A and B are shown apart, each in its own frame.
Chain A
Amino acid sequence: MSYYDLDVILTDSEKVPCKFELEVPDLGYLDNNPSQPLKAGTSVNLPLWLAELLALTHQSSTPFLTLSLPPALGDNVLNALKADPRAVPLRDQSQNFYGLGARMLDLFEEPELGVVLRRSFVVRAGEVALHGRKAGATGDAGSAEDFMRGLEEWEKKLYRQAHEGAKGHKEWMDGVKK
Chain B
Amino acid sequence: MYGDLGNKLVQYAKRTQSLGFLPPYQTETVRGVTREVRDLDKDIAQRLEPFGGSFNPQADQATACTLLVNHLSIRRNKRCLLAYHKSRTDKLEELAWKGFDVVDLAGQQVASGNAGSNLGSADGGSSSLSPQEEDYIRQYSDLLAAYKGQWTDIDLTGSLEPPRDLFIDVRALKDAGEIQTEYGAITLTKNSQFYVRQGDVERLIAQGYLQKLG
Contact = CB atoms under 8 A, between A and B. Distances in A.
Given A25-B62, A59-B64, A50 B3 contact: yes
B61 A22 contact: yes
Given A50-B73, A53-B68, A9 B3 contact: no
B65 A54 contact: yes
Interface residues of B, number: 26
A3 B68 contact: no
Contacts of A53: 68, 72
A10 interface: yes
B87 to A, nearest CB: 7
Contacts of A5: 83
Contacts, number: 68
B1 interface: yes
Interface string B61-88: 1101110110011001001101100110
A166 B114 CA distance: 35
B42 interface: no
B192 interface: no
Interface string B11-37: 101100100000000000000000000
A26 interface: yes
B10 A10 contact: yes
B17 A6 contact: yes
B120 interface: no
Interface of B: 1, 3, 7, 10-11, 13-14, 17, 57-58, 61-62, 64-66, 68-69, 72-73, 76, 79-80, 82-83, 86-87
